[in-house]
Amino acid sequence: MAGGKLKSGTKHGKHKGKRWKKGHSSDSNPQIRKHRLTAKNRFFNQNVGSSGLTEAALAKHDEISEDREDDITSTEKETGSVSGRTFSTWATNWTECTNTTFSRVHRYASSNSAMHKEILAVLAAVTEVIKASGGKESETEYFAALMTSLESVEGEQSLAAVAYLLSLVMKRVPPAVLKSRFSDIAKALLHVMASHVNTQFTSLLRSIIVCLTSVLRVQDPIVWNDSSTLQIYHGLLALTTHHKPKVRKAAHHAVCVILKGSSFMQHPESPHYHPASSATAKYCIQQIEDTGGTGEATTTLHMLGLLKDVLAVFPQHSVKAACETILRLMTLSNVLVTSVAMQTLHGMFSMQPKASSLPAELNAQIITALYDYQPGENDVQPLTAWLAVMEKAHVNLGRIDAKLCISHLPRIFNSAMKCLLSEKAEIAHVAADTLKILLNNCVASNMAFVKSVLTTAAESIPTPIHKMFRAVEGGLSYQFHAEWGQVLQILAAFFEVLGQECPKMMKKCLVSMADLRDSHRFPYKAELDHAVGVAVRRMGPRLVLEAVPLQITGNEDNYEFPRSWLIPVLRDNIKETELGFFTSYFLPLAAKLRAKSITYSKEDHLVESKTYDALQLQIWSLLPGFCTRPTDLKQSFKGVAKILGSALSDRADLRMTVMASLRKLIQHSLEREDNRTEVAKYAKNFLPILFNVFTVDTEYEKDPTRLAMLETIKTYLQLADRQLTASFCDKCLDKMLGQDIGSLQRHSLMDLAIAMVPHVNKPRLHRMHSFIVLQLESTDKTVQKKSYRILEEICAGKSPESIQFVTGTLTELQKLLLKSLSSSGPSSKAPRLRCLCHIFKNLKSSQHEFLIAVVPEAVLCTKEVGERARTAAYNLLDNMGTAQLTWSNKSQQETIQNYFELVMAGLAGSPHMVSATVLALTRLLYLYKADISRDLLELLVDQACLLLTSKAREIVQSALGYLKVLLSSFGDVDLAQHLKKLVLCLVSMKEDNKHHFRFKAKEIFGRLIRKFSYETIYSMVPESHHKMLVNLRKTQERAKKKKKQGGEYDEDEEEEEKSLKPSFTAESIDDILRDTDSEIDDVDDSRQTKAKKPHKKVAKSGSAWLKETGDDDIVDFMDPGVSKKVLATKPDSSVSSKKAIKHDFKMAPDGRLIITEEKEEMDTKIKKGKNVKEEAMDDLDELLDAMEGNPKKSRKRKMESIEVDEDEAPAKYKAGGSGIHRPIAVGKRKDRTGMGVEYKAKKAGGDMKKKGKPDPFAYVPLDFKQLNKRKRAKAAGQFKNLVKGAKKGAISGKRAKRRK
């Protein structure tokens, strides 16, 4: 259809079909639904007519199914193959073939393609011949028959069909057969290939290529020494430059398979390279040299594409020769050839060739040679490709030889840093990424060698590492100011990789960075802070502060503190460093700053006092970082412990910081025994301080400082000595038993007791148990709650002593919890329920009476307000079910049914109890859904249907949730018999509940539709619910459609993303060569007639430009650096060397300057002032028109043309006459009548207020419809013109006021 579009017959035909009526083209439910009804009738009704499913067919199918496994696994010896009647399907009637090799062919049975029918016919004929001769339909038999057919068949279409079948079967023919008949097979295939090399049937050549590949890849290495074998292989190579793209691609793939995937190349002791690789290299080099890259260079591009995939498996001499040829090609300055050559080298390095193919010396020589082909700094595509090749080359060299790689890195660093000076942001981005990758892959991966180089080198002789760093450090000069962000990222990578090994080398760089940070309006503060932070992590704060002092001493005359930005950077990055440095450097400084703050505070210098106080707090904020895995904890902690203790007791402003530091120190010290012992020594000092501060009365109990302190106490108790903890516990109990303590102090002591329970012995647990027995019935609800918390910690059994105590006093604990049920408050519910959970976990024997007593409490607590109490109640129900299963001797289903019946007793209580019971049943239903019998399921469904008809909303809400879980837990088979009952109860709810829970009921109907189909549910509900079901089905279909479309490809969005993101990679070889392919479909001529949107012209592929710096500059093509002046990107001609001279004179269209006198300028200004007033009046008219609802009148700007004659004033057109020449001046507003005229000012241009009347504003009456979301947009649109006119008038008024 190249001649035009495919036109619709209904639209342009002689007899028009039935069309939509006007205005009804978007109707969703047409009257005529012939195809829908047909499909629906076919889907829901039984099939009519004779069926092919007979008893004989079923018996045949059973026989095949039984024998299939044996048939598939049957094998023949050596020359035998897989055979047997492996399958028999509907397609077998076409060919009678039962070999699985041809399963793909059977897909063509319903195809209308002549080629597919020919393939089926050939297969049928070959199968018939094999069966007639008594064959077993093995691959070998098919291979022999097809080879015979290949020599005798006539016609290209039949020959293509035979070749296709042969390509399928040869992959499964035993290698011994292919080896023994190699010469005959190759001769026949080459004859067909040579005689049909220019055939129109591409599939014929592709199939012959596959056959040759299958034969050649199984041959032994000794066979490849024969010249005849190489001659056959050369036949394949000749097709790699075929004019047909599919043939060329098949030959390309065949060469790769032979060189990389031959059978002898897969063995562990395989040779380093294939015997035919040298021949391949010679052929490619010969083809490239013959064409020379001139003209379109199609053959050269094809050969480079082949070398990209196979160059890495060539022997060393072939790799060298091929690379030399590629480099010579790049001297031709053909942009397209150079780009593909870069891709070839990139592919070779990316495949990581063996050292036998690409030794380190040759790799280094290629790197050195590539510097002669470095493109210009502003040529985007070639330079990014060059950087990518250099990156892969250095990474591959580092993998082979680290020493040689490190020695070559300084040069690439210098070249990449020059790329940062490019005018193109893409080039700078790629260059920076290249350097970061080289640091991580070449330096970091060879750190052992780098360390040896740094340690053995003399200080006066710079190592390659020093040269690399100096190159990057030079990027901090003003010459690179536009790319300082990229330079700082590279420096951050340097600090990360080499910060620990050579910190002295980086000190000078840190000074330069600090000076830049202190400069005025430095734009890259975030990048610089990140780089300094990396240096702090890797080098340590001591070395960083030696290079970049903090410049805060406490003796400053000014209070700007230019280096204060270092403190947040240090705080966020200090870790795994010396704790002693904080003691020796920061603590004295913090003390000095605090003394300075106190001095200024006494002198009433509040600003200075607050400044120094904030500084000393910021310095203390560094302490948690120093306590994160310190390297000298054993030596330094004793020096800082006393200071931390005094800060805890005396400095309320430092407690949070000190406690956070202690917690980090303790958590990390648990990893090493020596650190753990060192920190545990000071528990006797820190814990009393923490206890005393925690038990002091505060204004409110939930102070965040107290919570942090309690957490610190719990953390420190993990290291404290048991005897020390026991003594603290005794003192705490003695104080709690005293009568002279306040309530807040008692609460604090109980919190300490909760923290100490897991770490005390059995006698203290008995004493603590005796104390809480008295407190469980306390009228102070906080004391009661904390008593339950102590009991919870005891029952949890976190220590061996707790486990022994709970086991011995289990009966007493049960009685205690049952006795205290009536006196427990709402806040105590959660810890009380958790105590019961722990008790049920420890019960080994049956305690049915205890379970019956606890069930009502657990059920009622599912309706508690507190989330923790509800969670604990649900967990208690789970634990009771697990305990009953453990105790019972009955089957699991019977036990679960008894447990459900026990819980269902609550359905006879109050509405609140019924609702809670339904929630409990919902949880148990989901938990034990696999063990519910049919009788129990029927009982649960009946109860749900009964509850849905209740009047109480509380019950109905719980029942709907219960029903939702029921539908999600059981399948359609289990619920099918209860479906009618469930639907009937849903539609029979009370009217009040039906309206209130309509959305929840709709959701349940949606689940029913998904489970049982729409038609089934539709037939069960009354007519009043049909509309809701129709809407629900449409919503579900819309959601499905939206979900399917969500993963589809969005062309517009993709194009927009491509336009926003710059492309850093060259187009692939397939894209480059696509224009030369002969089989690409022609573009429709109709596309050329479409209106094209204006777009920028894109340069043709292969276009090149010369870079010239001036009129007298002549490009010398003999210069080795000429490649930098041949650009693939068009140079920017808009930037001229001389800046345009700016002036304030007007300019005529022909370029002449217009210079007026002062008098003329004054007249012009006066006229402009009048025009401003007229424009303001026009804007006011538009505003009034908008208020009245009149349509907006279009207004054209009147432009005055500049006359060439300087003496005469520009003539202005005056309206007069009729038609288009009639005067259209706007009349005065005095004659205006309408709304708001009474507010018109007599002298001024606006409105004025009048006594006794509302202000002259536009009042809008309130409308109830505006509360509707759907109608809100329509209502808002009514005032769009009004607001727009008002804004325009206000802006015009401001402009006029300014010009006055």
Query: Which of 70, 126, 74, 127 lies closest to 97, judged by CA?
Result: 127
Q: Which of 42-51, 115-124, 132-141 has the lowest mean pLDDT?
A: 42-51
Average pLDDT over residues 558-574: 91
Mean pLDDT confidence for 728-739 = 88
Residue 969 has pLDDT above 80, yes or no: yes
DSSP for 593-617, written as a single string: HHHHHHHHHHTT-HHHHHHHHHHHH
Interval 904-909 mean pLDDT: 89
**Structure confidence at residue 1149 (pLDDT):** 65
User: Which residues neighbour 840 within 8 Å (Cβ) at sequence distance 6 or greater?
Assistant: 851, 876, 879, 880, 882, 883
| Average pLDDT of the residues in 279-291 | 91
pLDDT category of residue 845 using cuts at 50, 70 and 90: confident
Sequential DSSP letters for 331-368: TT--HHHHHHHHHHHHHHHHT---TTTS-HHHHHHHHH
Q: How many CB atoms lie within 10 A of CB 741?
A: 16
pLDDT above 70 (res 819): yes
The DSSP-derived string for 930-998 is GG--HHHHHHHHHHHHHHHT-S-HHHHHHHHHHHHHHHHHS-HHHHGGGHHHHHHHHHTS-HHHHHHTH
Question: What's the angle, vertex CA 166, arms to CA 88 and CA 197, rounded to 5?
Answer: 145
Q: Which of 223-227, 1004-1008, 1117-1121 has the lowest mean pLDDT?
A: 1117-1121
Give the C-alpha separation, 249 to 258, whole Å.
Answer: 14
Q: Give the integer Cα–Cα distance in Å for 377 and 424.
A: 8
Give the other-Cβ count within 10 Å of 693's Cβ.
18
Q: Residue 48: pLDDT above 50?
A: no
| pLDDT tens for each residue of 599-637 | 999 998 899 899 999 999 999 999 999 999 999 999 999
**CB 1088: neighbour CB atoms within 10 A?**
8
Any idea which of 440-444, 520-524, 697-701, 711-715 has the lowest mean pLDDT?
A: 697-701
d(CA 902, CA 854): 11
Reported confidence tier of residue 831, pLDDT bands at 50, 70, 90? very high
Average pLDDT of the chain, as a whole number: 79
Model pLDDT for residues 324-334, shown as the tens digit of each residue: 999 998 888 78
**Res 28 pLDDT > 60:** no
Considering only CA atoms, give the Rg of the chain: 45
Least confident of 782-791, 962-971, 1171-1180: 1171-1180
Q: What pLDDT score does 36 carry?
A: 54
Per-residue pLDDT at 1049 exceeds 50: no
Q: What DSSP letter does each residue of 570-588 carry, written as one string?
A: HHHH--SS-HHHIIIIIHH
Nearest of 284, 354, 279, 364 to residue 313 by alpha carbon: 354
> What pLDDT score does 873 carry?
93
Contact predicate 826/863, CB 8 Å: no
Question: Residue 344 and residue 48: Cα distance in Å, rounded?
Answer: 64
Check: CB of residue 1135 under 8 Å from CB of residue 370: no
What is residue 678's predicted lDDT score, i.e. its pLDDT? 92
Q: ∠126-128-133 over CA atoms, to 5°? A: 100
Where does the pLDDT of residue 1223 fall: very low under 50, low under 70, confident under 90, or very high at 90 and above?
Answer: low
Residue 169: count of CB within 10 angstroms of its CB: 25
What does the pLDDT average to over 463-471? 93
In the chain, pLDDT over 70 holds for what percent of residues? Answer: 74
Min mean pLDDT across 506-510, 736-740, 871-875, 1202-1206 is at: 1202-1206
| Higher per-residue confidence, 636 vs 1135 | 636
- Whether pLDDT at 382 is above 80: yes
Residue 1182: per-residue pLDDT:
52
pLDDT of 1041 strictly over 90: no
In this prediction, residue 268 carries a pLDDT of: 80
* Mean pLDDT score, 640-649: 93
For 651, residues 6+ apart whose C-beta sits below 8 A from its C-beta are 658
pLDDT at 671 > cutoff 80: yes
Residue 1148 vs residues 1109, 1152, 1167, 1202, 1206: alpha-carbon distances, Å: 32, 5, 20, 7, 11
Confidence class for position 391, pLDDT limits 50, 70, 90:
very high
Pick the more confident residue, 436 or 127.
436
Is 292's pLDDT higher than 80? no
Least confident span in 310-314, 575-579, 1172-1176: 1172-1176
pLDDT band (50, 70, 90) for residue 209: very high
Mean pLDDT lowest for which of 1-10, 376-385, 822-831?
Answer: 1-10
Residue 767: CA count within 13 A, CB half-sphere: 16
3-state DSSP call for residue 122? helix
* Banded model confidence at residue 32, pLDDT cuts 50, 70, 90: low
Confidence of residue 568 (pLDDT cuts 50, 70, 90): very high
Q: Cβ contacts of residue 966 below 8 Å, gap of 6+? A: 925, 940, 941, 944, 975
Cα 1086 to Cα 4: distance, rounded to the nearest angstrom: 5
Residue with tokens 């020769």: 321
Can you say how many angstroms the Cα of residue 883 is from the centroid of all Cα atoms in its chain?
45
Label residue 207 by pLDDT band (50, 70, 90).
very high
pLDDT for residue 275 is more than 70: yes
Q: Give the range among 97-101, 155-159, 619-623, 648-652 with minimum mean pLDDT.
A: 97-101
- At residue 1051, the pLDDT reads 36
Report whether pLDDT(95) > 70: no
Between 759-763, 922-926, 1001-1005, 1094-1098, the lowest mean confidence (pLDDT) is in 1094-1098
Confidence of residue 1261 (pLDDT cuts 50, 70, 90): low
Residue 1285 has pLDDT above 50, yes or no: yes
Closest CA to 757 of 706, 692, 802: 802
